[in-house]
Structure 1
Amino acid sequence: MDIDQLRTFDRIVRDQSFTRAAAYLNITQATASMRIRALEQLLGVTLFQRGRTVTLTDQGMTFLPFARRIIGTAQEGREALRRVERGRIAIASLRSLVSPLITEPLLRFQEKYPSVDVVVMEGRQSQIAAMLHERDVEMGILCWPNLDPLVVDLVPLLIMRERVPLVVAPEIAAKLPSQPSIEDVLALVPRVISLRWWQAEPETASALVRLARTSVELPTGPARRLALKGEGLGFFVNSAIADDVKAGRLVEIAPTNFEPLNRDTAIVVRSLAALEREMLSDFIAEIARECESVGVIIENRLAS
């Protein structure tokens, strides 16, 4: 069985004609017939009912989806090889950091490498760890230190510390005293929003949920909208709500009896050998530049 036989089989099914299929494939009708006979002999079945019209037998109908799956896989393989020839980079990031850390570096990178394919995947900590483990991606951006037991040999190239402020809608902030306690805040806000930014939740965040009348756990997008409507408060990583705070749509508060929080994230690879790929090394350097505007760099192997 070869791919030409399968393509001929598929084309005859589509055209319902040996003659039209042969013309489409730019082969003779005799060649098309020979390929189908060889395929039928190999499978030990008759694939077509031949007559004034060409129709599939029951065996041919059963075999058709498998043939198309093989053809599709071969096409995907050829396309993957073409991408490798012109260059390809695959990375993964926590969802909350794709926009602030990757968008602008990607534009700068593709100015330098206009023909290189770039794949950016997003997900939670465990999903990114799995992508690195399966080598689906070459670099990841995730919480640090990594506590996922699936991947224990990650190398941090850069570690960034980002503030995680507690925010509320401006109409709620306006009702608070100048130095509010967390009890003052919770008396005005119906619910606490939990976003699970951390692998192991800090006691401060856990305590806030325990003190609240009610809590909800949401992804960033709907959580932010809830906070904007004054229907909840929560700890948001600064990059997710910096524009809202600057525009006055949200207000950062600092209750007297609650410690401020931070989140550490890292650019990681499975091995420093990954940096031997100039394209990947350049892309990581562009992302590292963006990290400086988002948080505080507390470790940077790229600078050495």
Structure 2
Amino acid sequence: MDLDQLRTFDQIVRDQSFTRAAARLNITQATASMRIRALEQLLGVTLFVRGRQVSLTDQGMTFLPFARRILGTAQEGREALRRVERGRIAIASLRSLVSPLITEALLRFQERYRDVDVVVNEGRQAQIVAMLHERAVEMGILCWPNLDPLVVDLEPLLIMRERVPLVVAPEVAARLPARPTIDEVLAEVPRVISLRWWQVEPETAAALTRMARTSVELPTGPARRLAVKGEGLGFFVNSAVADDIAAGRLVEIAPVDFAPLHRDTAMVVRSAAVLERQMLADFVNEIARECAKVGEVLDNRLAGSESAAA
């Protein structure tokens, strides 16, 4: 049994596909299959039910937590060796929150820790959960609560609620009545811009997409440009469009027949013991200060520290 076999096993479980797992691991499908056959022969069991969709057998489900424990321990060992060589912090965040939460916090942190390496990874929810699970990062910023059934041992340090306003270009807003209905809004801008801000899309956002004549799903940058040009409307997290609203490039609207939306996010760790590293605790507290500026802090388990209260 070797780590390559266990990594391949874990990735196939995540992707439910030998082909996709092989692509993520940058190996051939034949290599992935060979590794799993060798692992199954060593264990004397069948780990997967092969078919159009790959699933775990009962034996595979039993073995999964042990395989992940081995992978996690190996990653912890590598991280410990790197930290001995040089101070290093690695975190991960949803793409939409890197700029509003981490930029200023990082500048303040580096004034105090000039010789510490800082790695900030960005990605989608599942990618951040995977990095935390594999201990590739020490802290993550993701949607909360986490709904990944395979990773349940995440501890929130701070939970933040952020408004998700519906925005349009000012020339579109000027054509609308003071209290428009959603039908009146869609008559002016028939295209809905869909951004996957949530793990599970709220019914309000899903209903807007269903009612629209057309919709488009885009990353934040192109989506904002489309909205500014009056070519679509969409629900944007407030931190992504606050500057545009302040500058008059976008206008928040509130249709009378649509409920307002919000998104909850959290700073999470596998164990609060990681905050025993003072430099990580200081960086987390700097980010917590930015959270208080961006949204409403619902729960702050760092509140007792001097840095968080500053």
Percent identity reads 81
For 1:66, the equivalent position in structure 2 comes to none
User: Deviation at 1:85?
Assistant: 2.6
8 Å contact kept, 2:167–2:236: yes
Question: SS where residue 198 of structure 1 aligns?
Answer: coil
Secondary structure in 2 matching 1:140? strand
- Post-superposition shift, 1:214? 0.7
Supply the distance in 1 between the matched residues of 2:187 and 2:130 (Cα, whole angstroms).
Answer: 42
Partner of 2:202: 202
Q: Distance in 1 between matches of 2:234 and 2:251?
A: 11
Listed as ranges, the gaps of 5+ residues in structure 2 are 1-77, 305-310
CA offset digits 1:61-85 (Å, max 9, x no partner) = xxxxxxxxxxxxxxxxx9x957643
Alignment partners' CA distance in 2, 1:84 and 1:293? 35
User: Which deviates further from its counterpart, 142-151 or 281-290?
Assistant: 142-151
2:291·2:297 contact (CA, 8 Å) conserved in 1?
yes
| 1:78-132 per-position Cα deviation (integer Å, ceiling 9, x unaligned) | 9x95764330000000000000000000010010000000000000000000000
CA contact (8 A) 1:161 1:297 kept: yes
Q: State the AA in 2 paired with 1:97.
A: L
Q: Are 2:90 and 2:136, in contact at CA under 8 Å, matched by a contact in 1?
A: yes
What is the SS of the residue equivalent to 2:104? Answer: helix
- State the AA in 2 paired with 1:277: R
**Residue in structure 1 matched with residue 138 of structure 2 by the alignment:** 138
Q: Distance between the aligned counterparts of 2:83 and 2:200, measured in 1?
A: 39
| Match runs of 1:239-250 below 5 Å | 239-250=239-250
1-side partners of 2:267 and 2:84: how far apart?
Answer: 23
Counterpart AA for 1:275? L
What does the per-residue CA deviation read over 1:28-57, in whole Å, with 9 as the maximum and x for residues that have no partner?
xxxxxxxxxxxxxxxxxxxxxxxxxxxxxx
Q: Residue 303 of structure 2 aligns with which residue?
A: 303
Retained in 1: the 8 A contact 2:82–2:88?
Answer: no
Instruction: Answer yes or no: is 1:270 the counterpart of 2:283.
Output: no
Distance in 1 between residues matched to 2:83 and 2:112, nearest whole Å: 17
Larger radius of gyration: 1
How many pairs are equivalent? 228
- CA–CA distance in 1 between the matches of 2:143 and 2:86? 32
Q: CA deviation at 1:151?
A: 1.5
Contact residue 192 and residue 215 of structure 2 kept, 8 A: yes
Alpha-carbon separation, structure 2, partners of 1:185 and 1:138: 44
Structure 2 matches for 1:1-304, cutoff 5 A?
Answer: 84-304=84-304
**Deviation per CA, 1:128-176, whole angstroms, max 9, x where unpaired?**
0000011000000000000012311000000000000000000000000
Question: 4+ residue stretches of structure 1 with deviation over 3 A?
Answer: 80-84
SS at match of 1:177: coil
C-alpha contact 1:168 1:250 (8 A) present in aligned 2: yes
In the TM superposition, what whole-angstrom CA distance separates every residue of 1:195-222 from its partner, at most 9, and x where no partner exists?
0110011110011001000111111111
Residue 292 of structure 1 aligns to a residue in which SS?
helix
Q: Is the 8 A contact 2:157 2:266 kept in 1?
A: yes
Q: TM-score, normalised by structure 2?
A: 0.71
Three-state SS of the structure 1 residue aligned to 2:188 is coil
How far apart, in 2, do the equivalents of 1:92 and 1:129 lie? 9
Structure 2 residue matching 1:249: 3-state secondary structure: coil
For 1:197 and 1:180, the matched residues in 2 are separated by 25
Helix, strand or coil for the counterpart of 2:89? strand
2:241 is aligned with what amino acid?
Answer: I
Structure 1 residue matching 2:135: 3-state secondary structure: coil
Retained in 2: the 8 A contact 1:83–1:117?
Answer: no
Whether the 8 Å CA contact 1:163–1:263 is kept in 2: the answer is yes
Q: 5+ unaligned residues in a row in structure 1: which ranges? A: 1-77
Cα distance in 1 between the residues matched to 2:202 and 2:214: 19
Whole-Å separation in 1 of the counterparts to 2:178 and 2:221:
29
Q: Distance in 1 between matches of 2:100 and 2:226?
A: 21
Q: d(CA) in 2 for partners of 1:83 and 1:281?
A: 15
Q: Which residue of 2 aligns with 1:27?
A: none
Contact (CA 8 Å) 1:166, 1:253: kept in 2 or not?
yes
Shift of 1:190: 2.8
Aligned-residue CA RMSD in angstroms?
A: 1.7
What secondary structure is seen at the aligned counterpart in 2 of 1:93? strand
Whole-angstrom CA distance in 2 between matches of 1:219 and 1:93:
15
